[in-house]
Amino acid sequence: MPEENDPCQEMPRILAKLAGRRPALFLDFDGTLAPIVPRAADARALPQAVTAIGTLRQAGMPVVLVTGRARADLVQRLASSGLEPEGLLIAGSHGYEIEGSGIASPPVANAETRARLAVAFEPLRQRLAHFQGTEIEGKAFAIAVHWRHADPNDVPAIEAVIDALVREVPGLRKTHGKMVFELRPDVAWDKGAAVTWILAQWDDPLIMPIFIGDDVTDIDGLDAVRVGGIGIAVGSAIPPGHAHYRLPDPEGVARFLGMLGTFSVQT
């Protein structure tokens, strides 16, 4: 893999790679378009990122939001930032919930996978009730347990509650992200599988995917575009070796999208 330079500094090389191709953007939300904030409910996309995405869409570039959040949550969150979901493809719940631009959910997203999480929700809530500062976020195909505001000494015990539920309720697995544990259906599906699946639906050999993400759950998405696409890590949570380029923060992402927009409008 290359040096993971700042893609804004490497624009001529990136534009050369995109020449004659159809770039398609796959964007993570928290930590990528929206700065990480103490409360999940308060996250908002940077206005400059929203403007850049609007320009790219007007220029005809496909834009897919690949988020760990529930799809409905992201739709509402984008709309409140002035980014209407029409024309956007949104892959929510880490890619289990795909809808938009004429594409509907993949075969893994069924009632059975959802029912497994429903069984776990109430015991999880009860067993975590005495851990001050934990927040449970229910989504269509995942349950997030935020421990950002919990006592750090409690985190191993919080994780043990989740591990116990994984043992007790068949068909679930544990993943983690920034100060969060998640319960997900134990099926072979993640952001990378979602990206690959969407590319297969489009079936357009000219498309060149550009994936941008900041958290360990984005590694699958970056790996999916490693050959034949462009992967951009944000910040330092993703270890070297998965991305072609690296941006420091969501402000950098907005800057990169703005530069890409300028190029798209010119061509």
Amino acid at 249: D
Select the residue interacting with ligand L263DTV3 from 7, 23, 31, 95 (CB under 6 A). Answer: 31
CB closer to ligand L263DTV3, 62 vs 250? 250
Smallest gap from Cβ 255 to ligand L263DTV3, in A, equals 19
Amino acid at 3: E
Select the residue interacting with ligand L263DTV3 from 178, 186, 237, 249 (CB under 6 A). Answer: 178
- Which region among 5-13, 67-75, 159-167, 248-256 touches ligand L263DTV3 (by CB under 6 A)? 67-75
Distance between CA atoms of 260 and 52, rounded to whole angstroms? 8
For 98, the enclosing helix (H) or strand (E) is strand 97-99
Encoded one letter per residue, x for contact with ligand L263DTV3 by CB under 6 A and - for no contact, window 212-241 reads: ---x-x------------------------
Select the residue interacting with ligand L263DTV3 from 57, 71, 77, 146 (CB under 6 A). Answer: 146
Q: What is the DSSP string of 179-225?
A: TEEEEEESSS--HHHHHHHHHHHH--TTEEEEEEE-SGGGHHHHHHT
Smallest gap from Cβ 16 to ligand L263DTV3, in A, equals 30
CB closer to ligand L263DTV3, 141 vs 264? 141
Select the residue interacting with ligand L263DTV3 from 7, 23, 62, 68 (CB under 6 A). Answer: 68
The answer to whether residue 135 forms part of the interface with ligand L263DTV3 (CB under 6 A) is no
Distance between CA atoms of 188 and 34, rounded to whole angstroms? 28
Chain residues 71-130 in contact with ligand L263DTV3, contact rule CB under 6 A: none
**What does the longest C-alpha to C-alpha distance in the chain come to?**
58
**Catalytic site includes residue 42:** no
Q: What is the DSSP string of 111-160?
A: HHHHHHHHHHHHHHHHHHTTSTT-EEEEETTEEEEE-TTS-GGGHHHHHH
Smallest gap from Cβ 176 to ligand L263DTV3, in A, equals 9
Are 116 and 93 a contacting pair, CB within 8 Å? no
Q: What is the DSSP string of 47-95?
A: HHHHHHHHHHHHTT--EEEE-SS-HHHHHHHHHHTT---TT-EEEEGGG
- The residues binding ligand L263DTV3 (CB under 6 A) are 28-31, 36-40, 43, 67-69, 137, 144, 146, 148, 177-180, 215, 217
Residues catalogued as catalytic: 28
